[in-house]
Amino acid sequence: MGFSGTVMDDYTWDLSMQWHLADFLTFDCCYLQKPEYTQAAEGFKDDGYFTVNGTKYYSLFDPEVVAYYSSSPNVKSKSQFRSLEYTFGGPLNIVPNTDFIIGVQDAEYLYENTYDKQSEIGNVGGSSGNSDGTGREYTAYFYESKTGLMDGAAEIDVAVRYDDYSDFGTNTSYTVKGIWEVMDGLTLRASTGTGFRAPGLGDLVANTSFSADSHVDYVKCNAKGIAREDCPSEQVNTYISANPNLGPEESESTNVGVVYSAGNHSVAVDFFNTEIDGIITSVTVQDYIDAAILGPSYVAQLESQGAYCTRVGTQADAPLNECFRGPINGNETSVSGTDIKYSGLFETGVGDFDVNFSAVVMDESESEAFFNGPVVNFVGLTSIPEFRYTVDVGHTLQAVPNLYMSLQYEYIDEIADTTDANYKATSMVDDFDQVNLRAVYTVPGMENLSVSVAVRNLTKEDPPLTANGNYNRLLHTDMGMQIFVGFTLEL
């Protein structure tokens, strides 16, 4: 809800209020109910069978037995966001050709997660959360201005924001942007600024939760004489705790680009660099293993952050028993690369074709492998491809002028599957591509109503697999072909 108005002819004000409530229930499937599984396993061990509802079953994996020790955990989540914002703006007369806006926002966020009792007491295997809830308030003051220069050929934008949070303090961030039309069709642009991200409330106060974390135990494999490339993936009981001392992460970013337009065609190239200090991250079980390979001093760094693992026995060839970890503030991370975009319209005898191309070429994604560990450029490694792009071609059929169709091609470069102890790739996961189709039909006589159909992964491509038979969920999907149908009605 909002109110707005004009004062002194040239100045505008706006008062807006927002109140958002969310209440939803999430059900999971096919988790392990540990007491029932133990009961069934002991029955097979002692008697060679297990009885469910009066019937004897002779396999631990019989559907009736599996149903007996399966769990369907659930979580009830509630959240509430309330905000009151006031802005005032208009010409800044003390600076020629400048418009400004100032504002203040006061907001409150509350959340609550309630897990089922079986998860809370630790009876659910695989992973299980724990009930928690808290809130946060903040007040923000902000200023933005836009100044025209060189008879409109150039422009400078300035933005400053001050945030005051109830749970961890204050922060001031800024952004400065500039654009200059050097000549007809050629524009230069640049920006620099700072950023700020508060830690999530769950990271600060959530109760300890449980997860079965996957890892490759190179320490155990080394002790057993198993080659690194043959070391299998395993899981270990892991307990994840909040970190009430977690601070915000702060960033500095720079972007420099050029845009060239000629007729129906436009090309934009932007070079970007971002440095993040105090990045909010987490020590993983794999981090702990990798640190142990590099030496005791690296393990000590992780243990100083509350992350550690224990083994079943005292020997290095024993499996991990349990691990403990949580969110931390890491050190500096830097990311740089190039964005390339093209858009154009091709006029032909069978109609117009609009073509769009977008690519990202990564140069650097450099950070510590783990807290105070070796600095690694992760481009081309397990989650950051060096190159990815999309191309889409759209066309309105002359025979059916109300039907617009577009075909899109997506490509993701190969990434590392495995690395050596120095984080150099030793094997690769194949590159991935897929084709998407979209059609939009405007209903004749009802130009405000359109029906759309989208098909993702038209050719049903499977994700490229790792040596362990898994796939990278951050980059690829195993959903196969997906079909979406919708409509848009403009009132």
Residue 199 located in a structural domain? yes
Indicate if 203 and 334 belong to the same structural domain.
yes
Please tell me the distance from the alpha carbon of residue 405 to that of residue 393, in angstroms, as a whole number.
8
Which of 303, 334, 363 is the last residue in one of the domains?
363
Query: What pLDDT, on a 0 to 100 scale, did the predictor assign at position 128?
Result: 64
Query: What pLDDT, on a 0 to 100 scale, did the predictor assign at position 98?
Result: 95
Query: What pLDDT, on a 0 to 100 scale, did the predictor assign at position 104?
Result: 98
Both structure tokens of 292: 């142990």
Residue 307 located in a structural domain? yes
Q: Domain range holding 207?
A: 167-363
Indicate if 346 and 206 belong to the same structural domain.
yes
Which of 297, 332, 363 is the last residue in one of the domains?
363
Please tell me the distance from the alpha carbon of residue 32 to that of residue 70, in angstroms, as a whole number.
5
Q: Residue 125 pLDDT more than 80?
A: no
Which of 316, 333, 363 is the last residue in one of the domains?
363
Tell me the per-residue pLDDT of 94-122, one tens digit each, with 9 for 90 and over: 999 999 999 999 999 998 988 888 888 77
Q: With cut-offs at 50, 70 and 90, classify the pLDDT of residue 126.
A: low
Q: Residue 325 pLDDT more than 70?
A: yes
Indicate if 182 and 305 belong to the same structural domain.
yes
The domain total for the chain is 2
**Mean pLDDT (the chain, rounded):** 92
Mean pLDDT throughout 53-73? 89
Torsional sign, CA 442, 446, 449, 453: negative
Q: Residue 86 pLDDT more than 70?
A: yes
Tell me the per-residue pLDDT of 242-289, one tens digit each, with 9 for 90 and over: 998 888 899 999 999 999 999 999 999 999 999 999 999 999 999 999
Q: Is the pTM of this model over 0.75?
A: yes
Indicate if 402 and 345 belong to the same structural domain.
no
Q: Residue 152 pLDDT more than 90?
A: no
Q: Residue 184 pLDDT more than 80?
A: yes
Residue pair 154/66 in contact (Cβ under 8 Å)? The answer is no
Query: What pLDDT, on a 0 to 100 scale, did the predictor assign at position 127?
Result: 65
Indicate if 322 and 463 belong to the same structural domain.
no
Query: What pLDDT, on a 0 to 100 scale, did the predictor assign at position 366?
Result: 95
Tell me the per-residue pLDDT of 421-447, one tens digit each, with 9 for 90 and over: 899 999 999 999 999 999 999 999 888
Query: What pLDDT, on a 0 to 100 scale, did the predictor assign at position 17?
Result: 96
Q: With cut-offs at 50, 70 and 90, classify the pLDDT of residue 160.
A: very high
Query: What pLDDT, on a 0 to 100 scale, did the predictor assign at position 303?
Result: 94
Residue 102 or 65, more confident: 102
